[in-house]
Amino acid sequence: MATTKWNIDPTHSEVTFKVKHLMISTVTGKFKVFEGQAESEEEDFKNVTDVKFIADVKSIDTNNEQRDEHLRSGDFFAADEHADIVFRADKFDVSSDKLQGELTIKNITKPVTLDGEFGGVVVDPYGQTKAGLTLSGKISRKEFGLTWDAVTEAGSVVVSDQVRLNAEVQFVKQS
């Protein structure tokens, strides 16, 4: 049976993260450059296999250039040595609400389970078949070697260990 190939449409997708700052507020960031592919056994995005997502670490954007440079530095992502964040999954049944895969950051790979919500499949006004998917989850940044830490004079942690992930992605069926 032939498989159907799907690519993420970056103009209709976003990949964001949220981290507690000083444990009193949340900073939101995103990756402006990313790509992803998937294959499905059917043309309706059911029984998805071979999911791969890549984010360009240098495209990180938290709406503060000084903070973004710090995140790209060796204190966090070491973007010059580890340019990509990669997520891979062997399969995803859209009738399930979980996507299990492996996340690699700084050459450290860990299993990750993301909550998934399938938005459906539709043909757009230009005749392209598109599938929508919302993914969310949490990771420990320290488990991936993002160990920079600081404490305020009052003893508050500057950056939490827990990072909340969110992806709103639209896939385009390839002909």
Mean pLDDT of successive 10-residue segments in the chain (175 residues)? 90 97 91 96 86 98 97 96 97 87 98 94 96 96 91 70 97 94
Classify residue 145 as left (phi > 0), alpha (psi -120 to 50) or beta: left
pLDDT at position 1 is 60
Q: 66: domain range?
A: 4-173
The two structure tokens encoding residue 94? 């859209």
In Å, what is the CA distance from 150 to each residue of 71, 76, 90, 155?
14, 13, 38, 9
Q: Say if residues 158 and 149 touch (Cβ distance below 8 Å).
A: yes
CATH number, residue 36: 2.40.128.110
**From CA 38, how far away is CA 20, in angstroms rounded?**
32
Domain count, the chain: 1
